[in-house]
Amino acid sequence: MSESSTPISADQFCLVMTSVGNEQEAKQIAQSLLKDRLAACIQIFPMQSHYIWKEELQEDQEYLLLIKARQSDWQKIETAIRQIHSYEIAEILKLDLAAGHAPYLAWMQQATQRKPL
């Protein structure tokens, strides 16, 4: 990644979070979003979740996806995740970016650029 001559504002980008029940589903979501250039980078982490579901305490192994994307693609990302996600109520959260390393933001912009057909 090289230094960008034109500064890019971090508020053009967001971090989308979702969690799924297995690694295969996590990879399927990641590949779908990357293929459509709706994300620059997706990190997948195994984790243990504790929560209340239908009035009972639950504890499950899940996979957390951190999806780095453009703000303008939020609705497309949410729709794409919902098409693949197997949970009755999917965790799909968008966190706005306040700041970021300029060269990384430039790379994110380039990585999510739609290529003309």
Phi, psi of 114 (to 5 degrees): -75, 135
Contact between 42 and 65 under an 8 Å Cβ cutoff? The reply is yes
Q: How many structural domains compose the chain?
A: 1
Q: Which domain holds residue 58?
A: 18-111
Residue 44 lies in a domain: yes
Q: What is the DSSP letter of 4?
A: P
Ramachandran class of 46: left when φ > 0, alpha when ψ lies in -120 to 50, beta otherwise:
beta
Q: How many CA atoms lie within 13 A of 54 on its CB side?
A: 2
Residue 48 lies in a domain: yes
pTM over 0.85: yes
Tens digit of each residue's pLDDT (9 = 90 or more) over 67-117: 999 999 999 999 999 999 999 999 999 999 999 999 999 999 999 998 754
**In this structure, what CATH number is given to the domain that contains residue 45?**
3.30.70.120
